[in-house]
Structure 1
Amino acid sequence: MAKLGTTTVAKKGGVAGKLIGGGVVLVLLIIVLANLFNFADTDANKIGLHYGGGVVEDKKFKSIIPPGATNKLIGPGDTVYSYPIDQRSYIIGGAGADTDNADEVTVVSKDNVRLGVRVQVYFTLNRQEAVLQSFHERIGLKTEAYEDRGWNDMLQSYFRPQIDRALAAVGTNYNWAELYNNEAKKSAFQTAAAKEFTRLLPAAVGGDYFCGPSYTGNNACGELSFTIQKPNPLDKGIIDGLEAKQRAELAKQAQEQKNQQVNVELQSVRQQVAMLGSNGYLLKTAIESGKIQFMVIPQNGNISLPVPTPTTTTPR
């Protein structure tokens, strides 16, 4: 019995060892398979750049993973960098995503007045394969633009300086009052600034990496949407002075209109005096004002006039 018991214990130990050993092998197999079969997903509004990263290959670009891809098989150690393909914005002077911390861009006008300008830029990322790869390798990796925070840092680093330069370059062509209350001048200023920004940005980033907001990947890239709000003098006393000047001008215009009306009326009086004479004009004026009442009596007609009854006062 003792021998049998010893034999039984040995058998149980052997089974447990086999189970543990099998579990270890299974875990190692899962780890190996996980490295051999790597999968990647992309959101519907993002496009992926697939780069190799295995032990036996270089970290080179392999392929584009389209938006909305699910369980895309990639190699062991490979990496996918995702970038947005929907409309994006860079806003200076407003709340929301992709918003610069600074309130306004400072521009000096032709007459040396400092103006605060708020700017909105709307765009999409150029998704042509070669262009997108170049953007990632030149800009994206350096700023980590494939992450939300890195994307915002990229806009701050590349968009803001070119906006400042564009507005500074064209702002000196206009007086501050023209930009403040002349819609035609403001529109011309915006058009010129947009043109200058469109020229500066590709030179700064090294390529045509950004397209217009209507770009879908299957149509022309188009120009970025660049709009500015009404420039305002940073010295609020300038606006107060302008408003006071405008009020004085309006009062002057009102007085001139009143004087003009008086002159017209005076000329009419002179013409009537010349035609009716002084007494005739006075009589006409009295009749028109109701101070003199009159009636027309037909020729050879009989009329009866009411005679007021005298009031008799009885002495007391």
Structure 2
Amino acid sequence: MAKTPNVSALQSKSPVGKVIGFAVLVIIAIILLVKIFNFANTATNEIGLHYGGGIIEDRKFKSVIQPGSTNKRIGPGDTFYVYPIDQRSYIIGGAGADSSAEDEVTVVSKDNVRLGVRVQVYFTLNRDKVILQNFHERIGLKTEAYAEKGWHDMLRAYFRPQIDRALAAVATNYNWAELYNNEAKKVQFQTSAAKEFTRLLPAAVGGDYFCGPSYNGNNACGELSFTIQKPNPMDKGIIDGIEAKQRAELARQAQEQKNQQVNVELQSVKAQVALLGAQGYLLKSAIESGKIQFMVIPQNGNVSIPVPTPPVTTPTPR
């Protein structure tokens, strides 16, 4: 009896089987290399923090990965966190990721009127190595600020309460009308609120983690840009009352102008009557209005005055 050939042995010796086996080994080797050789990359507007996390080392900070870095090798099991370094904003009362267009900060003025205030804050993240590490370990890890959603959550959690506090503390120094239609008072209000916010924010977050919008990592940190729009009364009836008062004032001014014009005309009439007499003034007025026509006859001149011909009446036959 003939022996049946071993199919497995034939397959293992076939070229196709050898190629498949080699491909599997290559894939396994790539996976192992990725585990062993971990790489980090940053965009030009990002900065990275490298933390150890291998089997034989502690989970601790190791280095900063500079903006625009490519394929920076980090150890197996290490962790890499990325933060934005370009200009950022937190806007209350505008279309954006941080708040809705209807959102406003509510404050109470010195004369107890509730006002809605819209705010824009522009800033950059401090790139100092120690400060950045401290921010990550105190704030970033807790809020996951290295991710986009976590970044916005961090701003709402730390920026918004301090903005509310700063505006509320300063608004009580001004009457609502001063903030609504007095530009100089509004500038004072904004300046005072910015100083108060700048004082409150580092105390709340635990450090000078945020710099001004012109900071680039090599210059002074600078102050955050803090601007507000014109505060508006929450009660719209107040604005309607102001507009009604303004309309009445405009009407009063218009009437005063008419009265002044009539008075000037009356004084002119009095002066002409005094000069021409009552009859002379009436004659002058009649001539000026065209009710009386007159002609200037030249001296020694012949003038023909047309005499109107009366209409001819034809008798009606009986």
Fold-level match, TM-score > 0.5? yes
Q: What letter corresponds to residue 256 of structure 2 in structure 1?
A: E
Q: Which moved more, 1:270-279 or 1:93-102?
A: 93-102
Q: What letter corresponds to residue 280 of structure 1 in structure 2?
A: G
Asked whether 1:46 is paired with 2:33, we answer no
TM-score normalised according to structure 1 size? 0.88
Asked whether 1:253 is paired with 2:243, we answer no
1:42-68 alpha-carbon deviations (Å, 9 max, x no partner):
233211011111223222221110122
1:185-237 alpha-carbon deviations (Å, 9 max, x no partner):
32322222222212221222122211122222222322222122222211111
| Alignment correspondent of 2:239 | 239
On the 8 A contact 2:50/2:81 being kept in 1, the answer is yes
| Alignment correspondent of 2:168 | 168
| Alignment correspondent of 2:277 | 277
The whole-number CA distance in structure 2 between the counterparts of 1:271 and 1:301 is 36
Deviation at 1:35, TM superposition (A): 3.4
Q: What letter corresponds to residue 74 of structure 2 in structure 1?
A: I
The whole-number CA distance in structure 1 between the counterparts of 2:154 and 2:103 is 19
Q: Which moved more, 1:78-87 or 1:270-279?
A: 270-279
The whole-number CA distance in structure 2 between the counterparts of 1:32 and 1:298 is 125
| Alignment correspondent of 2:123 | 123
Q: What letter corresponds to residue 166 of structure 1 in structure 2?
A: A
**Runs of 5+ in structure 2 lacking a partner?**
none
Asked whether 1:67 is paired with 2:72, we answer no
Q: What secondary structure is seen at the aligned counterpart in 2 of 1:296?
A: coil
Q: What letter corresponds to residue 157 of structure 1 in structure 2?
A: A
Q: Which moved more, 1:212-221 or 1:156-165?
A: 212-221
| Alignment correspondent of 1:211 | 211
Asked whether 1:309 is paired with 2:306, we answer no
CA 1:229/1:101 → structure 2, altered by over 3 Å: closer, same or farther? closer
The whole-number CA distance in structure 2 between the counterparts of 1:101 and 1:140 is 27
**Runs of 5+ in structure 1 lacking a partner?**
none
Asked whether 1:292 is paired with 2:271, we answer no
1:49-105 alpha-carbon deviations (Å, 9 max, x no partner):
111112232222211101222211011221111101111111111212233687111
Q: What letter corresponds to residue 104 of structure 1 in structure 2?
A: E
1:111-168 alpha-carbon deviations (Å, 9 max, x no partner):
1111111111111111121221121122111211111111111101110011101111
Q: What letter corresponds to residue 41 of structure 1 in structure 2?
A: N
Q: What secondary structure is seen at the aligned counterpart in 1 of 2:226?
A: strand
Q: What letter corresponds to residue 223 of structure 2 in structure 1?
A: E
Q: What letter corresponds to residue 189 of structure 1 in structure 2?
A: F
The whole-number CA distance in structure 2 between the counterparts of 1:22 and 1:272 is 122
CA 1:158/1:102 → structure 2, altered by over 3 Å: closer, same or farther? farther
CA 1:311/1:23 → structure 2, altered by over 3 Å: closer, same or farther? closer
On the 8 A contact 1:100/1:156 being kept in 2, the answer is no
Q: What letter corresponds to residue 210 of structure 2 in structure 1?
A: F
1:247-279 alpha-carbon deviations (Å, 9 max, x no partner):
111111111111111111111111221222211
Q: What secondary structure is seen at the aligned counterpart in 2 of 1:310?
A: coil
TM-score normalised according to structure 2 size? 0.87
The whole-number CA distance in structure 2 between the counterparts of 1:26 and 1:284 is 118
Alignment root-mean-square deviation, CA = 2.8
Asked whether 1:58 is paired with 2:69, we answer no
Q: What letter corresponds to residue 214 of structure 2 in structure 1?
A: S
The whole-number CA distance in structure 2 between the counterparts of 1:251 and 1:30 is 85
Q: What letter corresponds to residue 131 of structure 1 in structure 2?
A: I
Q: What secondary structure is seen at the aligned counterpart in 2 of 1:260?
A: helix
1:103-122 to structure 2, matched below 5 A, reads 103-122=103-122
| Alignment correspondent of 1:149 | 149
On the 8 A contact 1:106/1:114 being kept in 2, the answer is yes
Q: Which moved more, 1:172-181 or 1:22-31?
A: 22-31
On the 8 A contact 1:159/1:201 being kept in 2, the answer is yes
The whole-number CA distance in structure 1 between the counterparts of 2:301 and 2:88 is 95
